[in-house]
Structure 1
Amino acid sequence: MNGKATTTRTKLERGRSALGPALELVHTGRAPTRAVLTSELGVTRATAGAVAAELEALGLIRVDSSPGSAAGSQGRPSHRLAVSEAGPVALAAQVHADGFRAALVGLGGRIVATAPGCVAVMADPAQVLGEVVAAGAQLLRDTGLRCVGAGLAVPSAVAEPEGTALNPLHIAWPAGSPVREIFADCVRETGVTGPAFTGNDVNLAALAEHRHGAGRGAQHLLCVATGHRGVGGALVLDGRLHSGSSGLALEVGHLTVNAEGRPCHCGGRGCLDVETDPLAFLTAARREPGPEESLLKQAGDLLRTEYEDVAVRHAAEELIDRLGLGLAGLVNILNPDRIILGGLHRDLLDADPERLRAVVADRSLWGRSGSVPILPCTLAHNSLVGAAELAWQPVLDDPLAALA
C-alpha cells in the first residue's frame, strides 16, 4: 500500500474515532461552532469538518450551511452546530411514589413528547412497567421518530450488576424486584428498538444536570434531592456517576440529622429521608396532605404561596436547618466543588438561601475556609432526561456502531 493511501486511511480512522467525542461535545452544548469543535478535539479544521458532516449524515446534528459569528466576536466566522430536531430519540420512563410518566428525549436533553402521567403505582412492577413502556411506544408511533433505546428511573437503589431494585421503600414493590430484566422484557415485547437500561432516579437527575443543567462544568458534583417521598443523593466525578462497588453509593437519605426524630424505613431514626421530605414539611407545617395531588406538589405550592404563614415559615426553617446539617456532613466527607438541590430542597433553598448556606458553612470544615456553591437544579423532569442519557450513552460512545 502506498504512503498516500496509508495517510488517507489514518485520517479516516482518526475522524471515526472522534465521532463519539464530537457528538458528546455538541450534545452537552460545549461545541456550539465548528471552530470550537476543532479546538476541543485537537484536530485539524478539515477533520472537524468531516466529523461534523458525518454526524449530520447520521441525522444526529445540524450544521449551518453558511458560517456566522456571534455579535461582538473576533476572528473568522464559523459554522454553527446544533443537535438535529428531527433526529432519533430515546424512550425515557420514570416511576415514583405518586405515579409514573413516559417521554421521548432527543439529543441535548430536549424532551420531544410526553405521555399523560399516571397517578397510581400498582404493587406488581411488571404491570407498572408494561403500562409505562406501552405509553412510550405509543409516543413513538405517533411521532414516527427512530428510537435508540430506553431508560428507566426508579425511586430505589439499583444493585449492580443484577439491576434489582434493592429498597423501593416508597412504592409497594417487593425488595429485590428485577426491574432491569422486567423493563427490558417490556421494551422488547412492545417492539421498541434499542437496548434498555435502569438506574436510581436521583443518580439520573444528577447525570442530566451535569450534562445539561446546573451541574455543567463541575468536577465533583453533589446532588441531593427529595423525591415525591424520601430523599436521595448522587455524586458525579469527572463526568461519571459514582455508584460504588455495586451501585449502592450515596444513600444520603439515611444520614441522621435529628437523633430524637421520626422512625425511618431503614430502621434508624431522624434520617434526612423522613426529616426533610415533602411529607415531613407538610406535617411540620400542620397541613393534612390531600389525596388529589402529589405530596411534592402540595409541599412546593405551600412553601411558595404561604411562606408568610408562621407555621409554614417555622416548618421551612426547621427543614432547612436539618438539611444544612446533612449537607455539611457530606461536604466534610466528599469535598464537592458544587452542590445542587432538587425537589422540595430546591424550593427550600429559594425560600431562604442565606440560612441554608450559613448552616452548611458553620457545620462543615471546608465551608469555613471556602464556601461550596449551592445551586438549585434547573431542568424540568431531570430524572426522565437522565434516564434517556442511559439510552444515549452507547450512541455517544460509538455513533456508527450504535446506529448501524
Structure 2
Amino acid sequence: MNGKSTSTRTKLERGRSALGPALELVHTGRAPTRAVLTSELGVTRATAGAVAAELEALGLIKVDSSPGSAAGSQGRPSHRLSVRDGGPVALAAQVHSDGFRAALVGLGGRIVATAPGCVAVMADPAQVLGEVVEAGAQLLRESGLRCVGAGLAVPSAVAEPEGTALNPLHIAWPAGAPVREIFSACVRAAGIPGPAFTANDVNLAALAEHRHGAGRGAQHLLCVATGHRGVGGALVLDGRLHSGSSGLALEVGHLTVNPEGRPCHCGGRGCLDVETDPLAFLTAARREPGPEESLLKQSGDLLRTEYGDPDVRAAAEELIDRLGLGLAGLVNILNPDRVILGGLHRDLLQADPERLRAVVADRSLWGRSGSVPILSCTLDHNSLVGAAEMAWQPVLDDPLAALA
C-alpha cells in the first residue's frame, strides 16, 4: 500500500473515531458551529467538515452552510450545526407513585411526543410496564420515526448488574422486582428496535440536567429532588453518573434531619424522605391531600398560590430548614461545585432562596467563605429525558455501529 493510501485511510479512521464525540457536542449544545466543533475536537477544519457531513448523512444533525451574519460581524460565518428535526428518537418511559408516562425524545433532549399518562400504578410490574411500552409503541407507529432504543425511569434504587428494583417504597411492587428484565421483554414483544435500559428516576433527572439543563458545565453536580413521593439524590462526576459499586449510591432520602421526626419507611425516623416530600409539606401546612391530583402538583400549587397564608409559610420554612440541614451534610461530604434541586425542593428554593442558602452556608464547613451554587432544575420531565439519554448513549459512543 502506498503512502498516499495509508494517509487517506488514517484520516478516514480519525474522522470516524471523532463521530461520537462530535455528535455529543452537538447533542449537548456545546458545538453550535463547525468552527467550535473544530476547536473542541482538536482536528483540522477539513476533518471537522467531513465529520459533520457524515453525521448529517446519518440523519442525526443538520448543517446550515449559509447562516446569516450577526450585525457588525467580520468575515464569513461558520456553518451552524443543530440536531435534525424528524431524526431518530428514543422511547422514554417513567413510572411513579401517581402513574406512568411514555414519550419520544430526540437528540438534544427534545421531547417530540408524549402519551397521556396513566394515573394509577398496579401491583404487577409486568402489567404496568407492558402498558407504558404499548403507549410508547403507539407513539412510534403514529410518528413513523426511527427508534434507537428505550429507557425506563423508576422510583427505586436499581441494583446492578441484575437490574432489580430494591425498594419501590411508594408503589406497590414487590421488593427486588426484575424491572430491567421485564422492561426489556416488553420492548422486544412490542417490536421496538434497539437496546432497553432501566435506572433510578433521580439519577436520570440529574443526567438530563447535566447535559441539557441547570447542570451544564458542572464537574461535580449534586442533584436532590422530591418525586411524587419521597426524596432522591444523584451525583454526576465529569459527565458520568456516580452509581457506586452496585448502583445504590446517593440514597440521600434516608439522611436523618430530624431525630424526633416522622417514622420512615426504611425503619428510621426523621429522614429527608418523610420530612421534605410533598406529603410532609401538605401535612405541615394543615392541608388534607385531595384524591384528584398528584401530591407533587397539590403541594407545588399551594406553595405558589398561598405562600402568604401563615400555615403555608410556616410549613415551607420548616421544610426549608430540614432540607438545608441535609444539603449541608451532603456538601461537606461530596464537595460538589453545583447543587440543583427538583420537584417540590425547586419550589421551596424559589419561594425563599436566601433562607435555604443561609442554612446550607451556616452548617457547611466552608459555607461562610463561599457557598456552593444552589439552583433550580430547569427541564420539564427531566427523568423522561434522562431515560432517553440511556438509549441514546450507544449512538453517542459509536454512531456508525449503533445505526448500522
TM-score range for the pair, normalised by the shorter chain length? over 0.9
Q: Which residue of 1 aligns with 2:115?
A: 115
Q: Measure how far apart 1:369 and its partner are.
A: 2.0
The alpha-carbon deviation at position 366 of structure 1 amounts to 2.2
Quick one: distance in 1 between partners of 2:195 and 2:159?
Answer: 19
C-alpha distance 74-360 of structure 1, shift in aligned 2 (>3 A): farther
Contact 1:68 1:78 in 2 (8 A): no
After superposition, the C-alpha distances for 1:128-176 in whole angstroms (9 at most, x for unaligned) are 0000000000000000000000000000000000000010000000000
1:71 offset after TM fit, Å? 4.0
Could you say if the C-alpha distance between residues 74 and 164 of structure 1 is closer, same or farther in structure 2, counting changes exceeding 3 Å?
Answer: farther
Contact 2:226 2:344 (8 Å CA) reproduced? yes
Identity of aligned residues (%): 93
Summarize deviations over 1:293-349 as a string: whole Å, max 9, x none: 000000000000000000000000000000000000000000000000000000000
Change (3 A) 1:78 1:133: same
User: How far is 1:66 from its partner?
Assistant: 1.5
**Structure 2 length normalisation: TM-score?**
0.99
- In the alignment of these two chains, the number of paired residues is 404
- Aligned partners of 2:75, 2:197: CA distance in 1, in Å? 44
Contact 1:335 1:366 in 2 (8 A): no
1:308–1:244 distance in 2 versus 1, CA, 3 Å: same
Q: What's the CA shift for 1:68?
A: 3.9
Contact 2:68 2:77 in 1 (8 A): yes
- How far apart in 1 are the matches of 2:51 and 2:22? 7
Tell me, in whole angstroms, the C-alpha distance in 1 between the residues paired with 2:68 and 2:78.
6
State the distance in 2 between where 1:72 and 1:200 align.
Answer: 49
Residue 191 of structure 1 and its aligned partner are, at CA, apart by: 0.4
Distance verdict in 2 for CA 1:74–1:364, change over 3 Å? farther
- 1:270 and 2:270 correspond: yes
Write out aligned runs for 1:331-370 (5 A).
331-370=331-370
Q: Deviations over 1:229-251 (max 9, x none)?
A: 00000000000000000000000
Tell me how large the CA RMSD over aligned residues is.
Answer: 0.8
Instruction: Please list every run of 5 or more consecutive structure 2 residues that lacks an aligned counterpart in the other structure.
Output: none
Aligned to 1:129, the other structure's residue is in SS state helix
Per mean C-alpha deviation after superposition, the further-off stretch among 366-375 and 21-30 is: 366-375
Cα gap change, 1:8/1:115 in structure 2, threshold over 3 Å: closer, same or farther?
A: same
Q: Report the CA distance between 1:368 and its aligned residue.
A: 1.9
Q: Cα distance, 1:65 vs. partner?
A: 3.0
Unaligned runs of 5+ in 1: none
Sort the Cα spacing of 1:105 and 1:371 in 2 relative to 1 into closer, same or farther, 3 A: same
1:366-381 equivalence runs, <5 A: 366-381=366-381
Deviations 1:25-67 (CA, angstroms, capped at 9, x unpaired): 0000000000000000000000000000000000000001324
Structure 2 CA distance for partners of 1:382 and 1:73, relative to 1, 3 Å: farther
1:88-113, Cα deviation, whole Å (9 max, x unpaired): 00000000000000000000000000
Q: What SS does the corresponding residue of 1:207 show, helix, strand or coil?
A: helix
Indicate how the Cα distance of structure 1 residues 74 and 313 shifts in structure 2: closer, same or farther if over 3 A, else same.
farther
Secondary structure of 2:204's partner? Answer: helix
Is contact 2:329-2:364 (8 Å) kept?
A: yes
1:132–1:71 Cα change, 3 Å: farther
* Alpha-carbon distance in 2 for matches of 1:211, 1:76: 30
Displacement of 1:402: 0.1
Query: Does the 8 Å contact 1:20/1:399 carry over to 2?
Result: yes
**CA–CA distance in structure 2, aligned partners of residues 34 and 46 of structure 1:** 10
**Is the contact between residue 210 and residue 218 of structure 2 (CA under 8 Å) also seen in structure 1?**
yes
Shift of 1:72: 4.8
Q: Are the equivalent residues in 2 in contact too, given 1:61–1:83 (CA < 8 A)?
A: yes
Contact 2:223 2:233 in 1 (8 A): yes
Contact 1:331 1:366 in 2 (8 A): no
Shift of 1:267: 0.7
Q: Given the superposition, is the C-alpha separation of residues 50 and 299 from structure 1 closer, same or farther in structure 2, using an over 3 Å criterion?
A: same
Q: Which residue is equivalent to 1:164?
A: 164
Displaced runs of 4+ in structure 1, greater than 6 A? none
Moved more, 362-371 or 112-121: 362-371
Structure 2: how far apart are the matches of 1:345 and 1:195?
33
Residue 77 of structure 1 deviates from its aligned partner by 1.1
CA distance in 1, matches of 2:156, 2:366: 30
Output one character per residue of 1:242-285: Cα deviation in whole Å (capped at 9) or x when no partner: 00000000000000000000000111000000000000000000
Deviation at 1:74, TM superposition (A): 4.9
Q: Quickly say closer, same or farther: Cα 1:167–1:72, change in 2 above 3 A.
A: farther
Query: How far off its partner does 1:75 sit?
Result: 4.9
Looking at structure 2, the residues matched to 42 and 69 of structure 1 have their Cα atoms a distance apart, in angstroms, of: 25
Would the aligned equivalents of 1:69 and 1:78 in 2 still touch at CA under 8 Å? no
- SS of structure 2 residue aligned to 1:183: helix
User: What's the counterpart of residue 47 of structure 1?
Assistant: 47
Q: CA deviation at 1:370?
A: 1.4
- Quote the Cα distance in structure 2 between the aligned partners of 1:313 and 1:278: 14
CA contact (8 A) 1:68 1:80 kept: no
State how far apart, in whole Å, the 1-side matches of 2:216 and 2:276 are: 26
Relative to structure 1, is the Cα distance of residues 172 and 72 closer, same or farther in structure 2, using a 3 angstrom cutoff? farther
Kindly tell me: are residues 87 and 255 of structure 1, through their superposed partners in 2, closer, same or farther at Cα, counting changes over 3 Å?
same
Residue 359 and residue 107 in structure 1: after superposition, are their counterparts in 2 closer, same or farther (change >3 A)? same
Deviation at 1:354, TM superposition (A): 0.3
- For the residues of structure 2 that align with 1:177 and 1:71, how far apart are their CA atoms? 59
- SS for the counterpart of 1:348 is helix
Q: Secondary structure at the match of 1:365?
A: coil
Q: CA deviation at 1:367?
A: 1.4
Matches within 5 A, 1:16-27: 16-27=16-27
Asked if the contact 2:65–2:78 (Cα under 8 Å) also holds between the matched residues in 1, the reply is no
